[in-house]
Amino acid sequence: MELRYNKYWERGKDFLNVDYPVISGAMTWISNSNLVRAVSDAGGFGVLAAGNMPPELLEEEIHILKDAGTNFGVNLITIAPNFKDHLDLAASMKVPYLVFAGSFPRRSEIKTAKESGAKVMCFASTESIAGRMIDAGADALILEGSEAGGHIGHVSTVVLIQQVLFKFDEVPIFIAGGIATGRMVAHMLLMGAAGVQLGTLFATCKESPAHPAFKRRYIRARAREAYATPQYDSALPVVAVRALVNRGTREFSRLQLGLLDKLKKGEISRTDAQYQVENFWMGALRKAVLEGDLESGSLMAGQSVGLVKETKPVKDIINNIVSEAEKEFDRIFK
Whether 142 and 123 have beta carbons less than 8 Å apart is answered as yes
Helix (H) or strand (E) holding 218: helix 212-220
> How far is C-alpha 202 from the geometric centre of its chain's CA atoms?
11
Give the tens place of pLDDT for each residue, 60-118. Answer: 999 999 999 999 999 999 988 899 999 999 999 999 999 999 889 999 999 999 999 99
Indicate the SS3 state at residue 198: strand
Q: For residues 321 and 318, what is the distance between their CA atoms, to the nearest angstrom?
A: 5
Q: How many CB atoms lie within 10 A of CB 24?
A: 33
6-210+309-333: CATH topology: TIM Barrel (3.20.20)
Q: How many CB atoms lie within 10 A of CB 303?
A: 24
Please determine, for residue 280, whether its predicted confidence score (pLDDT) is greater than 90: no
Whether 267 and 242 have beta carbons less than 8 Å apart is answered as no
Q: What are phi and psi of 231, to 5 degrees?
A: -100, 120
Q: pTM of the entire structure?
A: 0.94
What residue spans in the chain does CATH classification 3.20.20.70 cover?
Answer: 6-210+309-333
Give the tens place of pLDDT for each residue, 231-241. Answer: 888 898 888 88
Beta bridge partners, 72, equal 46
- Burial class of residue 222 in the structure, from the number of CB atoms within 10 Å of its CB (0-12 exposed, 13-18 middle, 19+ buried): exposed
Beta bridge partners, 182, equal none
pLDDT of 234: 86
SS (H, E, C) 153-195: CCCCHHHHHHHHHCCCCCCCEEEECCCCCHHHHHHHHHCCCCE
Please determine, for residue 221, whether its predicted confidence score (pLDDT) is greater than 90: yes
